Structure 1
């Protein structure tokens, strides 16, 4: 390095670059050289190169390629794969030019992400049920989950009467009202009511159909009668036996924990250990959500870090008891291996859900860095973990679990250098002072990291769930110490004591701590405004806020200040949401129409789940059974009419007799019937149109309408008085754009029987 510096006096030593790129807490004032333009940019880019901080942007480019894939329509594999190979080859040829190398590497990563999406889509391809079917069905139970009312089964289908093999789904998710005696691995049969996995309730909403496709689930529904245990036509294969064995072990431990503790605390404790959340009652779910700590019952990053950290600490403590081992053996690396093995076993036993697997990959990368003497927490390791996760499951990028977990970790990793403080040399302190200082730093660290994680994940929570929990900082600050210091260590100790039959006292101790967590959650949730419902963010607002998070988290230099630009623009868009005026259900059974009073009015027979999706997207905190939701609709047996604006009526038709009048007076006609060709309404959404579009929204803008559909994308149409023209036949001012909305959130069990996902 010294010889290189003599040859190039302009080269910045890495140690100096590190010191400049990672400022301390007192050195975070705005660098006014920002306004010197090119000199400031060149200096900071040099620091980024010295710190090797360009590598994390490869993961960003990879993710951008995945986003492009989800905007594409039936792409071929050879095109992105060929472009990836070409860009990678060019990058090797131009490696002496840093700018050219960076550009070509970024393009190669983007085409690589696109290719990964195509490969993943084709690898999971399986038949999907085309229409509602009621027929006898047989299959092997792959997983069982207890619910408050019955059980939910994941069934590996063998036969559905009346469906050919090419049309028969491989996996279906069905509910059973009375499922006593049903366990994973059994071969069962019965009459089932099956529906295709439902499309989004509104364009931009949770797309269960896409999630189900990537999980191999081709239908959802319920058994309508008795379920019989039958003799299997063949022996189950090894994968089914393994999955069934793990699921049965999880269910056994779940019931043992729940019975040892009892009540809501028992269901939450069982979920923390096994990942089975079916025994958690809805009141407990609401309490945890209102306090902003529901994430503790979803086995993901927090649990994996605590579990792996506990394994690491125990192994290192035990090895350190022997001085010869501590001095001669690489105790830290051995402990890291033990933590990796323990985390992997925990992931398998907890069900290997998508979020858990992503957390495991990230944890393995972090502990793997210890084995090769690298920093465990670094932007490089985070990028490697993201690349592995996205290459394996590209669809994860669109889900809140990936976005919130990686966003929170990236933000906290960027915060760590800013929080570092150098203690003045020669300053003495007593043991009491050191202890108090340590406690104060721990409390400050918990509060600060919780605050940073809350800010980092807020845009994703607002986009996917349309809710914010302002008091989540208080809830997390009070609950996480109990979870970290009592609950998770008790969970590990209980699992170790379980084979010996000595686990009951441990579960009871864990239950006491979980009860305290629920009490804290109930107290925080009782605050006025603990849960704020906000209008759904636009994709543009989410993209800008995500870009701001990346810019503030990935650079190591003053380039972080550039995040103010997209953050300001994103917040401006979020503060001025553009609400839609009409929501139409995917099958035309109901709609929500904005009345002259400014609030949504429900018409038709929409399910409560769909209605609540519309209300949350509009920032409306009313429940689906609120009487005021139907107050402004003028209804009779033939349908309903809502006055959305002066001289602008929206008609919901349920009887053909209403077409003559409504087609003459209404600006928009919505029906699940087939509209007669003589209908002169400017815009018609009938059975034929909705079968093509899916769920649809309409926004009135002066003399134009903006129409967004789950399947056809976005259109802007001019008002027209010409009769017999349906929306899909009108010329649009801009061509339709294919979009695939972003998922995902937990859905209630009762929606399974009505065709909605769980």
Structure 2
């Protein structure tokens, strides 16, 4: 057995570097899967273990040395995740707040409902201690805002509502609290009153970059009105605020939304275009071409241009990941190495995980690396094969790349977004060549010609390609059966799927094909994953009961976001109004009744209705969006209880007994779910003048 293991490990020696990010990911994923936060001593021990293993590696037998190094990398991944969590620590608002808010504007975007959202730092809240004040808050604007447009770095005051970042809409669902933790958001909310300017813009180079981005976005949208201009701003500098909800939904349904997100496509096209222009231009100059390494000079210029683009695009996780991948490819050219390989991809993944371990849990990381790995494997298999006449090869390469990238990322897209685009290949074949051949070169030309005042002509050309892409998206999305929806599987499916695919791609030898039964097992688990029979919103104002025709909801409008998440996770595209009309829940005014086996469920909304309720009115389970004084002869999920448990799922065991699963029990007690943490230095509290001036508006 030892000889077999040693032989199998020795066979991997040529590709061991590709397993480095896998081992890091195991440690990072293990850390985020914990239900409680280990003490610092545990991570000191892990770090010590990693150091000892690395130092002692030379004395470990060569055949099994990779296993010990993998153990060190797994420990390092957990330590890196812990360090990032501690660095991101900031106070999280622990209650619902209404009153004056002061802060410096550091970001502007739009919500899914197209409301403008302002992200503020240097926050000050009335009568909130500095050590309990979030470092950043995000506020959605409603109503008339005569003070808009707002300037980056501007100190603003307003009166608004703030709440802690919301937990999962259901047990095991997406935890926005963790996402907000690493975004530095300690509270989110809204205002219906005008936002006022308190002080002129101030800030560092990051705000200057943000200001430049907004200026570029405004200039682009002034020249290209409508969705085309918003689309252009999105692919140019990452500002999606000018795009309508309808156009974004069409792009998603046609599997073209990856064009909006500044990722490998944009970074690759831009740096590739710059690389080609510089290389060709210098090659036409004999005195330079014969004396200097033209190819390497072009790589350096493309690397620098990519860095500028990274800064101007906002530098989010997807863009940083794309730049690292492009940088690895360009540096490979400088070192006379093969530019596109699994080793280069492994280096890029390692750097991303070291810099931002939490990126592992996001769909962007998973989808982009899956698509890129699939492309590398596919084109490596096609190397040396006859792909037809030379004039036909670019078209074949385009079809293959679109098909392979789509298949590589499709499982992760289905896992995270519960939908599969059936005509995505057609849409990509029609749109991506136009984006690459027309839109991106025209956008680059517009940037080069802007100082000469000739940008409008280039933007007009870019607009042609963008309008074509939007038309393709709308047309394909309108075809019958363009999108199908899939239910959210058991949480174990995602890590199992990733590990099986990694095994199939990286392992050398016959054992690689053991991944095929693994894929079959993943598909079986996915297809048989049950959905919760009853879901209770953490507000206590909505329940959903699974029936033969889908999930029935207790209200057609309340808790609309949570209702939408439930229905998406069920794998349906039903509207909340339609779901509220389904059988399974009987609504009578502000009360709703349902049954789960022999268990009767009663939902009561409103303080008066709850106070007038006699006992539990014959119900076994009482749900309310108000705090209940009690006691009552049934199990109660009131506003106070649900605040502690989060959303709740109800089911039955084999004997018909009630099974209760709460969201907070699944997520556990982690820094992003527990008590707020204090910062080292805090701004002073709001002055009476600021509070009074804000409230007066």
TM-score in terms of structure 1 length: 0.82
Deviations 1:383-420 (A, max 9, x none): 22112111111111100001111111112112222111
Q: Distance in 1 between matches of 2:241 and 2:307?
A: 23
Equivalents in 1 of 2:7, 2:53: separation in Å?
27
In structure 1, how many angstroms separate the alpha carbons of the residues matched to 2:216 and 2:110?
13
2:618 to 661, 664, 673: 664
Q: Determine if contact 2:27/2:75 at 8 Å carries over to the other structure.
A: yes
Q: CA 1:446–1:707 in structure 2 vs 1: closer, same or farther (change >3 Å)?
A: farther
Work out which of the residue numbers 628, 639, 661 in structure 2 matches 1:708: 661
* Structure 2: segments with no counterpart, 5+ residues: 674-697
* Aligned residues of 1:312 and 1:336 also touching (Cα < 8 A): yes
Instruction: Indicate yes or no: 2:628 matched with 1:651.
Output: no
CA root-mean-square deviation: 2.6
Determine whether 1:215 maps to 2:183: yes
Structure 2: distance between partners of 1:171 and 1:281: 27
SS of equivalent residue, structure 1 residue 173: strand
State how far apart, in whole Å, the 1-side matches of 2:149 and 2:573 are: 41
Tell me which moved more, 203-212 or 148-157.
Answer: 148-157
Aligned mates of 1:118, 1:511 — CA distance in 2 = 46
Q: Is the 8 A contact 2:353 2:360 kept in 1?
A: yes
After TM superposition, the structure 1 stretch with the greater mean CA deviation from structure 2, 324-333 or 653-662, is: 653-662
Please say if 1:110 is aligned against 2:110.
Answer: no
Task: Note closer, same or farther for the CA distance 1:633–1:86 as it changes in structure 2 (3 Å cut).
Answer: closer
Q: Which residue of 1 aligns with 2:381?
A: 418
**Pairwise CA distance, 1:517:** 0.9
Contact map agreement 2:37 2:669 (CA 8 A) in 1? no
Please point out which of 206, 219, 222 is paired with 1:256: 219
Return the match for 2:399 from 447, 463, 474. Answer: 447
Query: What is the distance in 2 between the residues matched to 1:38 and 1:441?
Result: 48
In the alignment, the residues of structure 1 paired with residue 628 and residue 19 of structure 2 have an alpha-carbon distance, to the nearest angstrom, of: 52
2:15 equivalent among 53, 56, 60: 53
Structure 2 Cα separation of the partners of residues 577 and 256 of structure 1? 49
CA contact (8 A) 1:413 1:553 kept: no
Give the Cα–Cα distance (whole angstroms) in 2 for the partners of residues 91 and 214 of structure 1: 30
Distance 1:463 1:182, change over 3 A: same
Matches within 5 A, 1:4-19: none
SS at match of 2:16: coil
Q: 1:637 to 1:657 in 2, by over 3 A?
A: farther
> Which position in structure 1 is the counterpart of 2:273?
310
1:223-262 CA-partner distances (Å, limit 9, x unpaired)? 3322222236xx94xxx33222222221222122222222
For the 8 Å contact 1:366–1:376, the answer to whether it is kept is yes
Looking at structure 2, the residues matched to 558 and 551 of structure 1 have their Cα atoms a distance apart, in angstroms, of 11
After superposition, residues 262-277 of structure 1 pair within 5 angstroms as: 262-277=225-240
1:375 is matched with which residue? Answer: 338
Whole-angstrom CA distance in 2 between matches of 1:405 and 1:600? 36
Deviation for aligned residue 1:56: 1.5
Whether 1:325 and 2:288 are equivalent positions in the alignment is yes
Counterpart residue number, 2:61? 97
- 2:556–2:579 CA contact under 8 A, matched in 1: no
CA distance in 1, matches of 2:556, 2:482: 32
The DSSP-based 3-state class of the residue aligned with 1:539 is coil
In structure 1, the partner of 2:165 is: 197
Q: Secondary structure at the match of 1:713?
A: helix
What are the within-5 Å matches in structure 2 for residues 320-399 of structure 1?
320-399=283-362
Residue 107 of structure 2 is aligned to residue 143 of structure 1: yes
Aligned to 2:372: 409
1:42 to 1:115, Cα distance in 2 relative to 1, 3 A: closer
Equivalent-residue separation in structure 2 for 1:414 and 1:739 (angstroms): 39
Cα 1:595–1:422 shift into 2, 3 Å: closer
Q: Tell me how far 1:325 sits from its aligned partner.
A: 2.2
Is the CA contact (8 Å cut-off) linking 1:585 and 1:606 kept in structure 2?
A: no
**Residue of structure 1 equivalent to 2:683:** none
The structure 1 residue matched to 2:26, chosen from 64, 80, 87, is: 64
- Post-superposition offset of 1:659: 4.9
* Matched-pair contact (CA < 8 Å) for 2:557–2:576: no
- Is 1:279 equivalent to 2:242 in the alignment? yes
CA contact (8 A) 2:547 2:583 kept: no
Residue 297 of structure 1 deviates from its aligned partner by 0.4
Q: CA deviation at 1:136?
A: 1.2
Aligned to 1:124: 88
TM-score, L = length of structure 2? 0.89
- Matched-pair contact (CA < 8 Å) for 1:638–1:658: no
When residues 414 and 737 of structure 1 are mapped into structure 2, their CA distance, relative to the original with a 3 A threshold, is farther
